[in-house]
Each structure stands twice: as structure tokens, then as C-alpha cells.
Amino acid sequence: MFNHKIYIKLLALIFAFVLIFSSACFAGDSIYVWSTETKPINDTVETNANTTETQETATTNNLNLDCGSAILIEQHSGQVLYEQNMHEKLRPASVTKIMSILLIMEAIDSGRLSYTDKVPCTENAASMGGSQIWLDVREELTVDEMLKAICIVSANDCTVAMAEYLAGSQESFVEQMNAKAKELGMSDTTFKNCHGIDEDGHVTSAYDIALMSRELLNNHPDITKYTTVYMDSLRDGKSSLVNTNKLIRNYKGATGLKTGSTSVALYNLSSSATRDDLSLIAVIMKAPTSAIRFSNAQKLLDYGFNNFQYKKLASKGDTLKSVSVNKGIETTVNGILENDSGVLIQKGQDKNIQQVMELPESLQAPITQGQTIGSITYTLDGKEIGKVNIVAEKTIEKNSAFNMLESIYSKWFSLLRT
């Protein structure tokens, strides 16, 4: 038995040197190009949208919107699909609260604030007019309850209470609002308060409202747990809440977002909806009536859904091809997609999308997990609309006589034991 084991080890050693020598003689590094004109493109979860350069933004009032300004954007890319006076500075009314909600959600998602934290009501918060739930200075509501009241019925008293709780005073909170607006590129905006009650110099634009709406929905999607609720209640059912955004009830795919109106600002709305992976944000400002703001927003959303589609191009982690590995402890490695990718296109253009993959036929070890080993490029009518790196799924170490012998001996020893 002892001589038999020595004989097996000697055979394994000879076999290892033969393999090493042969691999050194046949290494290659040619590039493989794969054109998939007829291969269907993977179409799954969407993120990180890219946009084509073939779209022309509709800038005339061909939808016959009856409002001071309007805009329609695709939520993920931010591409403007329709606009009317989108940079005109107007009073936002309670649409202001989108920024207040954004700062609240940032505090929650960063861990500085919890949904279960109890928020007191100050005299200042209790004295707010307009939309409110009549907070009492003797009561406390959780952050969850405050968000319900702010998002569903646009409660001014809850908005001020949250601002004071987070920043110490409404004034300090407003400073944070303006700082965030500057960070987002909202150059048409100046906030004077956190609630939107008319105040000289408190202005924004349809474009800027779309920017902060997009930031809220993209980076804090949990907010839709509040903005999609049509009816709810507080105080053990004693206080009923009915959403001021009527599209939540009657528009398919509606995800929010916020209404606003005063006698000076007239009727404003930031509305959002998602259908078939296409997410849109429509903003209406200075509509003459509440009904017109909703009908105008619906026209914008319908225009977007009827004329555009979101096409998924790539899904992060998908395996594209197994590539042979020379001089590695393993002979192949999977090439996977590094990121997600998608594109906003006009309806019907998806059949013209082509993809070309560039990937070596073989690779030389060592290879590191996540190392770029190729790419896949997507084109529409000859124009590049997306490109995603192909990376190695795992690390492949370089082979040596020692680890090859060790591997072979281990396999032989396992066979002998069985």
C-alpha cells in the first residue's frame, strides 16, 4: 500500500510538469466580438438610466395646458420630456414641503432620526394656519405620524414641529433647505419658510420642483409608503386623513407627490407615476383651479406614457460568457455585468437597439474579482446609448508547480479514501 501511494505521487508530479509546460506553449489573447442584432436584450429591474440624444423636448404648449408653468421629466435620468416656462419663478405654496420632507427622510436614512421618535409641539407650531391637524402643545406624535400628516393632508403645524425638532428652529431648518436647494442645482429657488404659506421672496420654478421631487423619490423611495396613501387616520382613529392629491386615487401607477395652493400662488402640483418600469414626474404651477391642475398633470403623464418607454439594457451581476483562463488554478472564469443600465426611448425604438460585446477568448492568470475584462456597448440607429463593463466574477490565482501538485494530490488522495 505504501509503494502504491508513492507511485501515485510520482505520476501526479510528472503530470503537473506536463500541464505547466503545455499551458506556456498555447497561451492566447485574441479579442472576441459578438454582435447580437437578433438576440433579445435582458429586461429586468431598472436603475441608473441613460438617455438617448435623439429626443427633442416639447417646448411649445401643444398640450394646451392652462397653467403658468409646467414640466415633465423621466424620474431616473432627469431628462426633460415637455416644458412650458419651466424656469419662471413662482410661489410654490405647500409644494414647498417636498424639500422639508426630503430633509426629514435624509435624517431618517442617515440614522439621525427614527420613525418612532416622539416629536413635541411648540406654541409656534400650534399657531400655524392653513392646512393642519390642530396639534396641541401638550401632545407628542411620532415621526411616522408626523409624516402621515404632512404627506397626506399637508399639515403646516406638523411641518413646523418637525423643522424645529430637527434644526432647533424653523429659521435654521430653512437655511438647511436653501443649502440643499443649492446642492441640487435649484437656481430658481429661495425658501423663506418650511411650509409654503405665501411670503415675499419665497419662490421656485417647475424645473426646481422637479429636481427636488426626483431627489426624494430616487434616493428615499420609502416616502411612497406615505405619498401613495389615499385615506388614513391619527389619534386612534379620531383624526381622519384624506390625501389632497386626487391622482393617488384615480390615476394608474401614481406614486405621489405633493399639492399646494394659496389665493396668490393659485394651484400647484408635483405628481409622479410609474408604469412598466417608466417613472415620470409632472409639475404644474399656477393653475387657475384645483381641477385644472389635476387634469393638466394627467395630460403630461399621459403624454409621457403614450410616447416613451424605458428599456432595460443590462442587469448588474448577469453572466454573459465563460472565458478560459491560462496558467490559473481554475481553467475558466465567468464574465458578469458590472452595473445596471437602461435607456429612455420613444416607443417602438427598442427593436432598433443593437449590442456588441468585446471579450477576450482567453485570459492570463492571475485575475482579480471585479477586474474589467471586457465591455458591452448598446447602440440605437448607429449612436451609442449605453456601455457596461464586463468584470471577472471571482479571483483566479496564478498556477505554480507547487499548488498544481497539491491540487492533483488532493484529488487523488480523495479518490483513494473512497
The secondary structure element, H or E, covering residue 157 is: helix 156-167
Residue with cell 407628542: 140
Report the DSSP pairing between strands 239-242 and 231-234.
antiparallel
Residue with cell 424653523: 170
Rounded CA separation 354/281 (Å)? 29
Catalytic residue, from 23, 69, 77, 94: name it: 94
Contact 210, 283 (CB under 8 A): yes
Rounded CA separation 50/339 (Å)? 12
* DSSP classification of residue 366: P
The β-bridge partners of 353 are 380
252 annotated active-site: no
| Grid cell listed for 145 | 405620524
Catalytic residue, from 23, 97, 312, 315: name it: 97
| Grid cell listed for 253 | 401607477
Is the bond leading into 366 cis (omega within 30 degrees of zero)?
yes
- List, in order, residues 6 or more apart from 99 with CB less than 8 Å away: 177, 180, 181, 191, 194, 212
Residue 298: Cβ within 10 Å count? 19
Rounded CA separation 24/57 (Å)? 58
Catalytic residue, from 77, 154, 205, 279: name it: 154
94 annotated active-site: yes
400 annotated active-site: no
| 85: nearest Cα among 71, 66, 64 | 71
What is the identity of the amino acid at 225? Answer: K
Rounded CA separation 224/241 (Å)? 16
| 340: nearest Cα among 141, 42, 139 | 42
Active site residues: 94, 97, 154
